[in-house]
Each structure stands twice: as structure tokens, then as C-alpha cells.
Copies of this chain bind each other. A is one copy, B any other.
Amino acid sequence: MTKRLLVVGGVAAGASAAAKARRTNEDVEIVIYEKGPYVSYGNCGIPYYIGGEIPSRDDLFLVTEQRFWDRLRIDVRVNHEVTEIKPDQSTVQVAGPDGSFEDHYDRLILATGAVPLRPPIPGIDSRGIHTLWTIPDGDAILDMVKTLSKDDPVCVVGGGFIGLEIAENLHRRGFQITLVEKMDQVMPPLDREMAYFASEHMRSKGIRVILSDGVSSFEGRDGTVESVVLESGEEIAAALVVLSIGVRPETSLAEKAQLHIGPNNGVEVDSYMRTSDPHIYAAGDMVETNHCSGRCPVRIPLAGPANKQGSIAGHNAAADLHPEEPAKEAFRGVLGTSIVRVFDLTVAATGLNERAAAALDYAVQVSHTISGHHADYYPGAQDMIIKLIADANSGRLLGGQAVGFAGVDKRIDVLATALMADMTPYDLEQLDLAYAPPYSAAKDPIIVAGMVAANVMRGQYRLLTLDDLEDGLDGCQIIDVRRPDEFEQGHLPGAVNYPIDEFRSHIGALDDQKPILLYCAVGQRAYTAYRILQNHGFSNLYSLSGGYELWSGTLGDSGRSENG
């Protein structure tokens, strides 16, 4: 009898699982049960569709139901919700438009994804408050948008990547945007000093960004939202609220079926994407997998991993049902690599951030470097900042973050590749990356980041971070080695200006009994000064990680002509 493979959920992981299952096994029956009205769409594109950058709603649909059947003999049933799994009978209960029925499976793949959080804040059920996750969510927001006037106030709650994307896209439509975030930063995958550039850039474009403040209630009239009241007491007018404060895994079916749930509330799977029931696989936003650099279980709802996991689950489930038993495939894990465009800025992260690495008790080493995204002598070079997080004990890179105007996506993908290979800063500084003036520099920003982190790791260079600075610098001699004109435009409190090109003449004025903090615009001149002092026997030396540009939160090109 023909074997039957059921897939529950058909958006990202589910669609990917079904397609791969068919390619592995032509003889199995494959059915996708999708609770919602659509399968296989690009939900990461919805904010851009709302903003008008993606002109047609049709563009968002990747594979139609018809094509699933014609090309892949996959039977897609939208508006069909699986309401229960009975693992002991190998059946599911399905509620469809024509009533409820039971279906049998030989293998089941769960891809029910995640659902946006909607905490029980007073007034949250008012009209005009929307989450943004599915096509119907996008349709509802766009319907609402069409009823609003330009300059109407819109409040986006939550500063993760969806919040940032929808804030930008609604700003593009002309609304007055306020973004509210409970944490003291946007973009939680990044550390605060890096995310700062994103929130400042949004502010510079006219978006009001409120940090460290949560929503206490939604107020309105006749059940329609009119304002958002914050924990601070402030009231923000809002004709539309987009709530993007995170998602929770949709595990209710899995829980009822008594599948194991992991420490992060996702369904536990092995590397073959198999749940605790050997006939049931799971993939996508609902599962926990291995964090490749953190080496711990994590649940990271992102499309890239969901696709890979779906494909692997689909292959393995279909391989189970294949008479020739093809070899299984194993999922390696995730790094949580993520990227967001914030107007003309790009903000990206991979692996562990500093907070997460510290929470896992790694001996955290961080470094920040700033360099032009291509050769400085070629017109248009723009500064980019890279943060590396490494384990000082093993040398292994744990994570990386990058912010800048061009070429950030390239550097974060290089770092993601380096993390997958367990590379160290010593590996990074030796990468043979492609150099031609329009693309890069002879010392690519990644090479520069690797060199500095490697110097720190060798014990030849000590960096202070902005957090260290906040802890105070009692008795520290702060030396700014930039040019006098740069110094006059702004400098660290208490800093003395010894420009690098006359630095040696000031050495006698320095007290080698007290700590010395050196800085310049981006760190290159400070490094030279550091080495000069080190060679003169000074040992109580520090350089400011990321230099004045990070401290002041302003990426520029101030350091570049000086960096030879």
C-alpha cells in the first residue's frame, strides 16, 4: 500500500519539507495541511509589500497550490487545521471547511511555526492593533493603512527586526512613526553599543524611538485604538499599532501528543529533525536546535534555518518510507545570523552576542574595529563597524556584529562562515579575500577585525569597551592621539591631545605608574601609540575599542586619511 506522509503547516519549513520529500521519494503520498488560507509565501517580504517596495501581492507567493500538484504531486489543503495527533494510532484529526475528519500517516512532519505574542495588556483587543507575521496580517495592516491619512500617527511596539522593517516601511508611506521598545536598545541580536547606530539612524530619518519603556495600556474609543500609554506614563497617539514584540512557538499539537519539549519551549528534535516520536519529524520556528557557536540548544525563528530544517526533515521522513532507505541527512545547527536594513544603514549579527556569551560563562573577549567598506582611495568609501566576540580560552570566535552603509551583508556572511568553521581571530586575519578598489581594500574590514582581535588574544593589546568606561576611569590618563582639529570638534572628558605624529615627544609627560587610555577616531593611530609606549616599557596601557567613532556613535570617514 502507498505510504502516506503528512505535513502540518505549509509556509516555510513545511513547504520545504514537502518539496524535498517528493524529490527523495516519488511513491509516497504527500499532503500538506495548512491552517491558514495560503502556502509557501515569502513572509519576510510582507513589510516591504506594505511599504510598497514590493509592488504586487502576487509576488509574495512562491509556489502555488496548482504547481505543488502539477510539479510535485503534493496535495495542498489550505484552511485545514490539524487539531490533534494520535501517535499511537498514527492518525491526525483535521478540521476543514467541510467538517472534521481523521487521516492516517506513516510519517508526520510538524511545521506549525510560531505565533506573534499578544500579551494581556489592557485594550490589546482594540481595533487598529495588529501583529505582523502572515499574509492575512499584512492584508489587515494594508487595509488599515488605506483608511489613514499621511501624517497620521502610527506606533510600532517592539524594536526587533520586524519592528524596524515595518517602522521604515510605514514611514515610507508618510506616517508619523513612534517606535517603542522595552529594552534599552533595538535589535536584540546585537549588543547595545552596536544597536545604538540603528536607533540613532531611525531618529535621524524622523522616527521617534523610545527605549526602556513598555506599554501599560492601549486606550481608545468605541473599541478602536487611539493611543498607547507607556509605563512611564507618556501617552502616544496612534491610529494604528503594529505589535512586534516577538513570537512563541506553536507547540500545542506537539504538547498534546506528548512530544518532548526543550528548555526553550520548542519541540525537541535530534539532528535528523526527528521528535521524541520516531514517526514524527518537526522543523522551523517551533523546534529547538543546536547553536553552533554557543553549543547549546536554542530556538531561533528565522527563515534560513527553517528552510534547511524543513528540507532535512522532508528528506529523512521520505527516506524512512523508501524501499532503498537512502542515507539520512543531519542538521548541523544555527548561528542565528540575521540582518536588517534600516533606511540606508545595514545592521547584522551572527553567533552569540556579548551578553549571551557571558551568560554561557565564556571568557569573553570583544573588539570593535572601524574601516572603510572598500579602498579609501576609491570614491565613496563608507565606514563600517565590526564587533567580534571570541572565547579568550580556546581562541574560538563566538559571534560577530556589523553595522554600516555598504558591504555589511558581505562581512556578516564571511563571519557566519568563519563561525561554522570554528575559526579564531588568527584565521580571520589570514583570510585571502577578494580585493579590487570598488569592492574592498587590501586590508578588508574582516582582516582588520581579525588583526585587532588576534593582537588582543596574543596578549599584546588591551582594549577598554564603553561598558568599562561607564565603570569609571579613576586616575587614568586619557590620551587622544588625533589631530588637533579633530580633538577640538569633540573628545572624551578629561582627554589630553598628543597627536600621533608628535606623540614620541610627549612620552616623558606620561606617568607609567598610572593606567593610560589611548584613543583616536577608529583605533589605528591609537594602536601605533600603544606600541610605541609598550616598546618604551609602559605596561598599564589600554586602547578604546572602536575609538571615538564608537564612543560618539557617529560613523564617518574622519579616521581614514590618517590611517596609513
Contact = CB atoms under 8 A, between A and B. Distances in A.
Interface of A: 12, 19, 22-27, 40, 42, 44-45, 48, 53-55, 59-60, 62-63, 67, 70-73, 161, 165, 292, 302-308, 326-327, 331-341, 346, 348, 350, 375-379, 407, 409-410, 412-414, 416-418, 420-421, 423, 427, 429-440, 442-444, 446-447, 458, 460, 500-502, 504, 525, 527-528, 531-532, 535-536, 564
Contact of A432 (B12, B42, B336, B443): B336
A421 B417 contact: yes
Contact of A442 (B12, B379, B535): B12
26 contacts: A23-B527, A27-B535, A42-B375, A45-B378, A48-B378, A53-B378, A54-B378, A60-B377, A70-B502, A71-B501, A71-B525, A302-B435, A308-B447, A333-B432, A337-B434, A338-B434, A338-B435, A350-B432, A350-B434, A407-B409, A409-B434, A410-B413, A413-B413, A413-B434, A417-B433, A420-B431
Contact of A44 (B22, B40, B375): B375
Given A42-B377, A420-B431, A327 B410 contact: no
A117 to B, nearest CB: 21
A220 to B, nearest CB: 33
A27 B536 CA distance: 9
A56 to B, nearest CB: 9
Nearest to A332: B430
The 9 closest A-B pairs by CB, nearest first: A26-B535, A421-B421, A63-B564, A339-B434, A410-B410, A70-B501, A335-B432, A23-B531, A409-B439
Contacts of A63: 564
A512 to B, nearest CB: 15
A303 B439 CA distance: 14
Contacts of A26: 531-532, 535-536
B304 A432 contact: yes
Contact of A379 (B53, B302, B346): B53
A420 B72 CA distance: 38
A45 B417 contact: no
A413 B414 contact: yes
Contacts of A504: 73
A335 to B, nearest CB: 4
Given A304-B432, A340-B436, 10 more contacts: A44-B436, A45-B378, A62-B376, A62-B564, A72-B528, A305-B432, A326-B460, A413-B431, A413-B440, A421-B427
Number of identical monomers bound together in the oligomeric complex? 2
A12 B441 CA distance: 12
A307 B443 contact: yes
Contacts of A25: 535
Contacts of A458: 327
Nearest to A504: B73
Contacts of A376: 62
Contacts of A430: 308, 331-332, 420
B341 A438 contact: yes
Contacts of A327: 458
Contacts of A410: 409-410, 413
Contact of A416 (B44, B55, B60, B434): B434
A139 B34 CA distance: 67
Given A305-B432, A431-B417, A439 B339 contact: yes
B54 A409 contact: no
Contacts of A44: 375, 435-437, 442
A447 B312 CA distance: 14
B379 A55 contact: yes
A431 B161 CA distance: 21
Contacts of A336: 432
A409 B440 contact: yes
A433 B416 CA distance: 6
A431 B419 CA distance: 9
